[in-house]
Structure 1
Amino acid sequence: MAEFFTFIPQEMLTKLASLAGQELRLQWGFNEELTMLRETLLMVEALLRDADHPRHNQGEAVQRWVAKLEDIAYNADDLLDECRYEELRRQVEPRTRMDTTLNSLSLSKCRFRRRTARKIQKINESLEKLYKLAPGIGLVSASWPSANATTSHNRETYSFFDKDEENIIGREEVVSDIVTNLINSNSGQASHLSVLAIVGMGGLGKTTVAKLVCHDPKIEEHFDRKIWICISTDFQVMMILRRIWQSFKHGTAVEGKDELCKSLQQELKGKRYLLILDDVWCLESEKWEELINCLLNVTDRVGCNIIVTTRNVRVASTIESIVQAFSMREMDKLSNDQCWQILKNRAFPDGRAHINGDQEIIGKEIARRCAGLPLVAKVRANYTITKF
C-alpha cells in the first residue's frame, strides 16, 4: 500500500479555497492578501491537470511535496477557525460586557486584522515556494507567472475532447438531463434566453460534462450556433462579446459595444445558439446584468441558452437574481465503485490485463481515497499502472 502514490486530497484544496473565499474578503477586508492567495491557489490546483505525465522515478519526492501542501492546508483551516471564532466572539461579547467601549472594540479589530493579514501572507508565500519546487519533481512546467500575468491563460479550456474524455463514467444521467433541459427550455415562455448553471467543486468533471452536452447529437441538431468561452478569473463583458463575434468572423475586428452588438444581432438573426461559459468566478451582478442585457438585445429567437460552469454556488445565485429562465445542476461525487472503474479503464484501456485479488483490493482502496473526484481518479491511475 505504501508504495502506491497518493495524490493531493481534494479536502486540502477545499480548505485553501475556503480561506481565499469571498466571505472572508467581505467581513474583514483582506482584499489584496486574498487576491494574491487565490491566484497562487489557482496555480497549485492546475497541478491536478499538469500531473498526468510526471517522471515516475520521483515518487518519494512527490509524496513529500504533497505532505508539505497538507501542512499548509491545515494552517489555512486553523486560520479559518480563528476568524470564525473571532466573529462569534464579537457577536456575543457586547451583550455580556456592556462596559466595552467602541474604541477598544475598534483597536481589537485592527490588531486581529493585522495579525490575520500576516498569516495569510505567510500561507501565500509557502504556497508560492511549494509551487516553485514542483518542476524539480516533474509536476509542472518551470514557469511562474509574473505579477502582471493573468491566471486565465493557465486555466484555458476548449470544447474538444481530451484523451479518454468521451468515455465517461457516472455522468451519463447528468448529461442526458441537461440535454433534455436545453432542448425543452423556453417552451411556452416569452423569454428568448435561458441560463443553466453546472455547479460543483474542482475535479468533479463540470467541464467534461459541458463538452459532452456540447457535442451531443441532439444538441448539434437543435442549435444553429455553439460558442465555447473559457472565462476563469477575467470576466469582462466586452471580451466575452468579442470572443462570441470572433467565433463567427475570424480575424474581423469590431470596435465599440454598440457596433459589436449590432454586428452580433445581424449574425444571430433567426438563429438559436448555445453559449458555454466555462470556469466562471464572477460574483458582480452589474457585470452579469450588462452581459445578459447585451445578449437579450441581440437574440430574437426563443430557445437560446447559456451554460455556466462554476465552483461557487453564489455565482449561480447571482445569475438567478438577474435572468427569468434559470436552472441549476449541482454535480455529485462519484461512488467508490465508479472511481475504481475509472482507475481500471485508465490504467488498462484495452481491458485485456488480468487483475488478481490483491491488486483489486489495493486498487479499490486507492479508489476510495479519490474522494469521489473523477479527476483525482484519472491522475492516480497513471501511478497505479506502474505498480500492477
Structure 2
Amino acid sequence: MIQAFLNDAEKKSITENAVKLWLRELEVMAFEADNVLDELSYQLLQKQVEKMKTSSHSPKAKDWVLSCILSCKSIMRRRNMANTMKKINAEFESMNQRATDLGLQSIVQNAPIATHISTETNSIRSDPIFVGRDDDVSKVVYMLTRIPQDRTISIVALVEMGGMGKTTLTRNVFNHKRLKTFESHIWVHVSQTFDPIGLYNKIHSTLTPTTSDRVERVEHEEIILKKLQEALRAKTYLLVLDDVWNEDVLKWETFINNIEGVSSKEGNGIIITTRSQKVASIVNPFYIHRVNGLLDEQCWSIIKRKTFDGNAEVPPGFETIGKEIAKRC
C-alpha cells in the first residue's frame, strides 16, 4: 500500500515542502519495513534448513548442545525482530497522524499530474563508479541464462524507485561476458508513453543500422513485425526495456506475444526496469529483482570519489560530514 502511494505521489507535482519531507521519510520507513520482511524470510528458510539437518541423522550429545545454542539465538532474533516491528508500527502511526494533520491525502489526490521527463538511456555509456552491485549483477545474469520449461523467453524485472541505480545495474548486466552468447543485443528506452509501434521501430532500427540520418517509421504493425521477423528469425536476443511505466495488462500481453513470435529460436532474454511494483507484476517476469539501497560505507566511497576525484586524502573534517551525508542518501 505504501509503495502504491509513493508511486502515485511521484507522478504528481507536489510543491509543499512539508509534504515532500513527509514523503521522503515514508520512503525511508518503507525500506526499513522491507528489510524486516527480508529478514523474516531468511530466518524461515534457515529454520527449514536446520530442521532438515536434524531429521537427516540421529541425535548426539554435541548436536543437542548445538541445538540449544541455536534455539537461544533464535529466541534472541525473534525478540529483536519483535522490537523492531513495534518500533516501525509506532512510527507508522505517528506518520499517519502527521499525514492527517497535513491533509496529505487531499493534496496528493488534487495535485496536477507531473509530466515524467526522463533522459534517453543507452548501453554504451561508461560507468566509472560502480560500487556494491556485483552480487546483483551475478544474480540477474544467472536468472537470464535460466529459461523456464514453459517459456521461450526469460523475463527479469528490476524494480525500485528512481535514482537507485537500476539503469546502471542493467548496463553492467547487458555488457556482461556471460551474456555474449545472445546473438543480438537490443537496448530500448521506453519512458512513460508505451507505444508498441514505436518500440517495434526502435528495436528494428537497432538491428538494422542505416547510414542515413533519417529513419522512416513504419506505422503498420503487420509490416514492422515482419521486418523484425526477418531480422531475428534464427537468432537469440537479449532485449532491454528501460524505464517502463505501462500498467495496461492487455497492451503488454499483446506486445510480448508479438515479440515472442518474431524469433523461432528459444533461449531469449528480456530485462525490464521500472519504478512500480505493479508494473513489475504485470510484465509476468520469471524473476523480480529489488534494487536495494547501498550501505553507508558504499555511499561514502561514491561521494568521496566524485568529490575528491578518487584521491584517498580527504581534508580534515570532511570525512565526518561526508559519512553523515552518506547515511541520508
Q: TM-score under structure 2 normalisation?
A: 0.67
Aligned to 2:277: 313
Aligned to 1:192: 152
Alpha-carbon shift at residue 347 of structure 1 (Å) = 1.3
Alpha-carbon shift at residue 167 of structure 1 (Å) = 2.7
Describe the SS at the equivalent of 1:158.
coil
Alpha-carbon shift at residue 16 of structure 1 (Å) = 11
**Aligned-partner Cα distance in 2 for 1:156–1:40:** 22
How large is the RMSD of aligned CA atoms in angstroms?
A: 3.2
Equivalent positions of 1:289-308 (< 5 A) are 289-308=253-272
**Aligned-partner Cα distance in 1 for 2:128–2:237:** 23
Paired-residue identity, %? 31
- Which of 195, 203, 209 is 1:236 aligned to? 195
- Which of 154, 160, 179 is 2:124 aligned to? 160
Amino acid at match of 2:5: S
Aligned to 1:93: none
Amino acid at match of 1:38: K
Describe the SS at the equivalent of 1:279.
strand
- Which of 138, 141, 147 is 1:176 aligned to? 138
Residue by residue over 1:27-84, the C-alpha shift from the partner in whole angstroms, topping out at 9 and shown as x without a partner, is: xxxxxxx8xx82646xxxxxxxxxxxxxxxxxxxxxxxxxx7532425878xx959x9
Amino acid at match of 1:182: L
**Aligned-partner Cα distance in 2 for 1:334–1:151:** 25
Specify every segment of 5 or more residues in structure 1 that has no aligned partner in the other structure, as ranges: 1-14, 22-33, 42-67, 86-111, 129-149, 371-388
Aligned to 1:211: 171
Say how many residue pairs are matched. 250
**Aligned-partner Cα distance in 2 for 1:307–1:318:** 14
Aligned to 2:20: 73
- CA gap of 1:350–1:332, structure 2 versus 1, over 3 A, is closer
**Aligned-partner Cα distance in 2 for 1:81–1:247:** 48
Amino acid at match of 1:73: K
Amino acid at match of 1:286: L
Specify every segment of 5 or more residues in structure 2 that has no aligned partner in the other structure, as ranges: 27-94
Match status 1:366 vs 2:325: yes
Equivalent pair of 1:39/1:151 in contact (CA under 8 Å): no
Equivalent pair of 1:236/1:287 in contact (CA under 8 Å): no
Amino acid at match of 1:225: S
Residue by residue over 1:299-319, the C-alpha shift from the partner in whole angstroms, topping out at 9 and shown as x without a partner, is: 211111110001111111112
Equivalent positions of 1:107-122 (< 5 A) are 116=106, 120-121=109-110
- CA gap of 1:347–1:69, structure 2 versus 1, over 3 A, is farther
- CA gap of 1:206–1:159, structure 2 versus 1, over 3 A, is same
Residue by residue over 1:344-371, the C-alpha shift from the partner in whole angstroms, topping out at 9 and shown as x without a partner, is: 1111224253443x3221111111111x
Describe the SS at the equivalent of 1:222.
coil
Describe the SS at the equivalent of 1:230.
strand
Residue by residue over 1:105-148, the C-alpha shift from the partner in whole angstroms, topping out at 9 and shown as x without a partner, is: xxxxxxx9xx948x744x449xx8xxxxxxxxxxxxxxxxxxxx
Alpha-carbon shift at residue 268 of structure 1 (Å) = 0.2
Alpha-carbon shift at residue 155 of structure 1 (Å) = 3.4
**Aligned-partner Cα distance in 1 for 2:234–2:183:** 9
* Structure 1 runs (4+) greater than 6 angstroms displaced: none
- Which of 235, 242, 253 is 1:271 aligned to? 235
